Amino acid sequence: MTNVLAFLNFARAVRKHFGAETAMFLRWPIFSVKMFVAGIAKSYTSNIFRIIVASQFHMLFYASRPLPNSFAFILVILSGRLPLFGWDGALLIGARTAVQCIAALTIPIDSLFWGRPIYPEFEVAVFNLIKNKSHEYGVSPFLWYFYSCLPRALAASLPLAVLGVFLDRRLRKYISIALIFILSYSLLPHKELRFIIYSFPLINLSAAVFCARMYINRHKSFARQALYYGCCLHLIANLLATAAFLYAGARNYPGGDAIAHLQWTQRMDANKPMSVYIDNACAQTGVSRFMQLYGAWEYTENLRPKDLERFDFLMIGTYSGNLKDIVMTNYSTHHRVMFAIPAFHRFTLKKSSSFPFYHPEMVFKEKVAVLRKK
């Protein structure tokens, strides 16, 4: 909710600086269809920005999660509106304010839990920037943000954002800020989409300006009218991509699906003393304390393979390896497979004999197996 309020504050700045039509394309769905129709009739430009953001998946997804990036996103959005009024120092002030607020909140609490004076964000910065150890969490190519993250996050709005820069020179400053930020993070070997979500509003602003210009000039020529219809269709394309990402995201937590199904199939033994081992991959893909329903059951993590023979059930997962080989090699002597959980693996293009000849398809792969003691 705080992210939503901060974003609406940013959209108001867009409305004043780039026009009401542009801002509407940013924030409409936070309200209602009725407000959208009224906004289209009265102030189209300011509203395009709202609609574009709401039609995309990743920014709203991460804005709703209790992650450090999500809380930082609030301050970035609030400070990001100020340069729209010509105050370029707002970015520096926003960064300083963010550090002060986060430090005041996290240092006392984390020091209490860790039993020593600690500033977690500073230690993370030292680990990633000074010691350059982020590669321990995985390495991606230098341009990964540009050819993977931005197309997935912005969907069909990305090419419109590129065109918007050529229509309005005022946008070049904001897009330059976003590009410099993304390039800076590209220097780190470990990359995640959530690291660059702060740049998405600025890039969407450029797409919203392009859509607004096409709407304003739609009656001047057939080409501009066609471009305006293309801007409308790009929102549908965004929604289709969002629907696909939403389904893929829902199928991306095999650990949670596995423990839910295990407890359902063994519900008659809910009050019996059963033991369940949860490995690291399962713990990171949906298994949490909230999923552990039966008080009589023992749920255990972080044990060595030789200590697992006594457990009634084993939950074994993998991110990219062959699940069947892992199970047969390490656990088949004392446990047998009850069931396996398929999860989203990747998107691929499937060839067909009819138009459009290629279409996207989701690939699912078994990533978690639940084993029972023999």
Angstrom distance (rounded) from CA 118 to CA 272: 43
> Where does the pLDDT of residue 130 fall: very low under 50, low under 70, confident under 90, or very high at 90 and above?
confident
d(CA 182, CA 186): 6
87-91, 139-143, 309-313: segment of lowest average pLDDT: 87-91
Residues 181 and 294 reside in one and the same domain: no
Kindly report, residue by residue over 158-215, the tens digit of the pLDDT: 999 999 999 888 888 889 989 999 999 898 888 989 889 888 888 988 998 898 889 8
| Residue 89, Cβ density class (10 Å: 0-12 exposed, 13-18 middle, ≥19 buried) | exposed
Instruction: Judge if 74 and 90 occupy the same domain.
Output: yes
Identify whether residues 244 and 261 lie together within a single domain. no
Domain with 354 in it:
254-373
Q: Which of 299, 306, 296 is nearest to 255 (CA)?
A: 299
pLDDT at 320 over 70: yes
**What is the C-alpha to C-alpha distance for residues 225 and 213, in angstroms, rounded to an integer?**
11
Span 41-63, pLDDT tens digits: 344 545 777 788 888 998 888 87
Q: Do residues 89 and 129 both lie within one domain?
A: yes
Whether residues 228 and 274 share a domain: the answer is: no
- Pair 161, 44 in one domain: yes
Domain count, the chain: 2
Using the 3D structure, point to which of 249, 277, 304 is the last residue of a domain: 249
Classify residue 43 as left (phi > 0), alpha (psi -120 to 50) or beta. beta
